Chain A
Amino acid sequence: DAGITQSPRHKVTETGTPVTLRCHQTENHRYMYWYRQDPGHGLRLIHYSYGVKDTDKGEVSDGYSVSRSKTEDFLLTLESATSSQTSVYFCAITQGVRPYEQYFGPGTRLTVT
């Protein structure tokens, strides 16, 4: 357990509405990541952060934005949700001592109707 929580754990929303998912960590990890998981695709990286206010795009960043105003929170925002963004979203961290070990949160299941 790397001290990662995600909220909400489940959400149903309508097409066109904004949605924000939160990842919270309690152990001062520098790197944080947002992935989405879809059947047959494994996990694909959306965005990541390497420090407060430092973020970069991943493989599937279109339609998503992120913010990190403090070390412990990494927010993922869907400005205008679409049905193609129905997915399970996972937050992850890498630990400073062993940056090659990446640990995942419990996930958020998002359904866009």
Chain B
Amino acid sequence: GEDVEQSLFLSVREGDSSVINCTYTDSSSTYLYWYKQEPGAGLQLLTYIFSNMDMKQDQRLTVLLNKKDKHLSLRIADTQTGDSAIYFCAERSNNAGNMLTFGGGTRLMVKP
């Protein structure tokens, strides 16, 4: 079955880069996603990458995909206190319902 795993917690200093990692098991994944959740809020779609790409950059965000190792990472450059949140990795397999499978989330804490 499908499984998506993330580390639970990451702490960085303001201004440093953050790297959040994710591993998945479904080799048929077509899209991989990063969502951000702030306290008491819903999930915000940050970025996503199609499975035939190995990198995507969007302003301060860089997504790297290693399909051989089934490893996805999100790098946030110049991390700010406003980046403190829970980050979820998700994968979409080749299914009719466009369904996503989520990891358990990584809590990012940014210290001033």
Question: Main secondary structure on chain B at its contact with chain A?
Answer: strand
Q: Is A19 an interface residue (CB 8 A)?
A: no
A33 and B90 CA atoms in complex are apart in Å by 15
**Given A48-B97, A100-B92, A101-B48, A42 and B42 contact (CB-CB distance below 8 Å):** no
In the bound complex, how far is the Cα of B97 from the Cα of A103, in angstroms? 14
Are A94 and B42 within 8 A (Cβ)?
A: no
B41 touches A94 (CB 8 A): no
Give the A interface residue count (CB, 8 A): 23
Q: Cα distance A58–B99 when bound, in Å?
A: 9
B48 vs chain A, min Cβ distance (A): 7
CB-based contact B102/A44 at 8 Å? yes
Return chain A residues, CB-CB under 8 Å to B41: 106-107
**B69-85 interface with A by 8 A CB criterion:** none
Q: Given the complex of chains A and B, what is the CA–CA distance between A43 and B45 in angstroms?
A: 14
Q: A42-B4, A43-B88, A100-B48 are in contact. Are A106 and B42 (CB under 8 A)?
A: yes
Task: Report yes or no: A41 in contact with B104, Cβ–Cβ below 8 A.
Answer: yes
A104 at the interface (CB under 8 A from B): yes
Shortest CB-to-CB span from A93 to chain B, Å, is 10
Select one of B44, B97, B99, B105 contacting A42, CB under 8 A: B105
> A50-B97, A102-B100 are known contacts; what are 12 more A-B pairs with Cβ within 8 Å?
A42-B90, A44-B102, A45-B99, A45-B101, A90-B42, A94-B98, A100-B31, A100-B48, A101-B45, A104-B35, A106-B41, A106-B42
Closest 8 pairs between A and B when the two form their complex, measured CB to CB: A42-B102, A104-B42, A104-B43, A43-B102, A42-B104, A106-B42, A100-B31, A94-B98
